[in-house]
Amino acid sequence: MRVARNERRLPKQIKREPFDLPLPLTQLSIARVATNCALSLLLLTNPPAAQLLGGQVARAAPNLFTPTPNPSEYQLLAAEAWKLVDRNYADRTFAGQDWFETRQKLVKKNYDSSTDVYNEISKMLETLGDKYTRFLTPAKYKAVFAVATGDVAGIGVELAAKDVDADGKPLKQPLVVISSIVDNGPADKAGLLPGDVLESADGADLRGLEPEEAAAKVRGAPGSKIRLEVTRRGAEDVPPMIITRGKVKLEAVTSSIGSIDGSKVGLVRLKQFSTETAADMKAALRGLSSGGVTSFVIDLRGNTGGYFPGGVDVARLFLPKGSLITYTVDKTGATTAYEVYEDGEYVTSPVALLVDDKTASASEVLSGALHDNKRATLIGRNTFGKAVIQTVEELQDGSAVVVTIARYETPVSRSNINGRGIEVDVPVDCPLSTIPLAKAVSQCVPRSAL
């Protein structure tokens, strides 16, 4: 496979990525990638309180509203949520509404309970028309945080929302489905499968819940038991399962050696991006290379994203010096370019990427970078199309707001793939639920792709 060399000079108005990353984990904010409601994570540095606008520091907005005398704790919470969105949100028109008038109405309203103020904050965010900017109750935020640590007590599954049927028609009530299962975890040993629909947990109905809410009900103390009822496509009746919870380490990167037409090929399954993914990926690739592997198939099916710089750093392993990886555009319109500063360790290794309609966010950063730079063949189904970045800001009571802070573009074509996805080179139906990576190599990946 020919390696494209990109020695570009960036326009003066485009800045290069900062070099003060990564920060210690305690200085990172846990950001939710709300792609198809799947539980994946994005760790981003907190954006600075002041942003540069045309060389000037943006000051706090003038006090255009009358302070509420002796505000209640709920009114203060509402004001805090508004302020965080006001400071960070990428669309400075706020969907064309009078954003200060929105604040006035929000903080002057009387609230009788946390539920009341939570509902009002949610309604405020809905007016922005951005499905990725939303409110998290304390329970939802804890669920996101637990997954972010990669070390949780539960049954070893990742959950996603399903809101359409097999024919693409909207369901009357969204369902919670298992998107992936941790190998040798409690769920795997009990016989649960990707695609199973969770109906109830210990008698509590899970239908209509969001994945985070369902996850909170499924998690529990290590050693405790939970009774799950599931439905499975093609099976008339699946008996209830009694599963013992345990500590589950979410392995983001797994690898093995396979073959295509008798030639060795390295197989890497990349489930999500975290602060450790690039290092784990490098270790996996080196291990495969020591086994005589010179080409790789990377499975990104079902990978809804995660830590944005993780996608950038994995791309660097395969790209030559001077290649562009992606661009981000923030709320001020400032563009930042992410580049490769030295040849990647696997710059000459043939690469194929398995993707599907759940491949999103940081996964699309990686896919777009390798595809645009002609370093990888994309196989499967067109990707999801999530080219916006969120941060999560915790509120004083343990709830949080998820706010879109930027968008990104593919490196060469400068395409905005949001809502459209990346088109594959080799269209093939290769569902993760029925064709694991070991089988996909022979059933989905043509030899010509490597």
- Residues 114/397, Cβ–Cβ less than 8 Å: yes
Cis peptide before 22 (omega within 30 of 0): yes
Is residue 169 classed as helix, strand or coil in its secondary structure? Answer: coil
Please report, to the nearest 10 degrees, the dihedral formed by the alpha carbons of residues 363, 310, 32, 437 taken in order.
Answer: 40
- Residues 405/89, Cβ–Cβ less than 8 Å: yes
CA distance 214 to 245: 15
Tokens of 422: 């990346």
| Amino acid (1-letter code) at residue 352 | A
CA distance 232 to 237: 8
Give how far the C-alpha of residue 217 lies from the chain's centroid of Cα atoms, to the nearest Å: 22
Closest of 202, 204, 208 to residue 175, by C-alpha: 208
Query: Looking up tokens 């954006």, which residue turns up?
Result: 47
Q: What's the Cα-to-Cα distance from 266 to each of 125, 259, 282, 284, 450, rounded to whole Å? A: 45, 8, 13, 9, 11
Closest of 360, 340, 210, 345 to residue 284, by C-alpha: 345
- Residues 79/71, Cβ–Cβ less than 8 Å: yes
CA distance 24 to 108: 39
Number of Cβ atoms within 10 Å of the Cβ of 52: 11
- Residues 381/300, Cβ–Cβ less than 8 Å: no
Catalytic (active-site) positions? 361, 372, 386
Beta strands in 46-150 (DSSP E): 52-53, 56-57, 134-136
- Residues 339/16, Cβ–Cβ less than 8 Å: yes
Number of Cβ atoms within 10 Å of the Cβ of 235: 10
- Residues 151/224, Cβ–Cβ less than 8 Å: no
Count the residues in the chain. Answer: 450
Tokens of 29: 């904010």
